Amino acid sequence: MGEERGYVRRIVEELEAQNLPHQFFYLAMQESDFNAHAVGPATRYGYAKGMWQFIPGTGDDYGLTIGPRKGSPVYDPADERFQWERATPAAPGVVSAAGRSRGSAPA
């Protein structure tokens, strides 16, 4: 599904533009099977949503608009976590930040 919709190419381009290995595209596959409308289970931080499964706080930290239905396990067209074209440029930043905090990803 990811390749047929052009997700893989676009994700790889964004990862490489941010100096991350292209293999990180597997994160989107693991998190949501490239389903841009995915909603994860409830957590103490809220619902993870979209292809990259951003929780509300992280999505907001990376410039995504969080929709009014953030507290419900439903699709919200106003929530940019569901817009893979907006969420994909933010995802490598999260990967980089996580790696830096562990001392393993490029700065």
Residue 107 domain-assigned (yes or no): no
Q: How many angstroms separate the CA atoms of 61 and 84, rounded?
A: 16
- The predicted pLDDT at position 20 comes to 86
Residue 69 domain-assigned (yes or no): yes
Residue 47 domain-assigned (yes or no): yes
- The predicted pLDDT at position 98 comes to 64
- The predicted pLDDT at position 85 comes to 92
Residue 2 domain-assigned (yes or no): no
Tens of pLDDT along the chain (107 residues)?
556 678 888 889 988 998 888 888 898 899 999 999 999 999 999 999 999 999 999 999 999 999 999 999 999 999 999 999 999 999 877 766 765 655 554 54
Residue 58 domain-assigned (yes or no): yes
- How many structural domains are present in the chain? 1
Residue 1 domain-assigned (yes or no): no
Expressed as residue numbers, the domain containing 19 is 7-102
Residue 17 domain-assigned (yes or no): yes
Q: Identify the CA nearest to 40 among candidates 88, 63, 72, 1.
A: 72
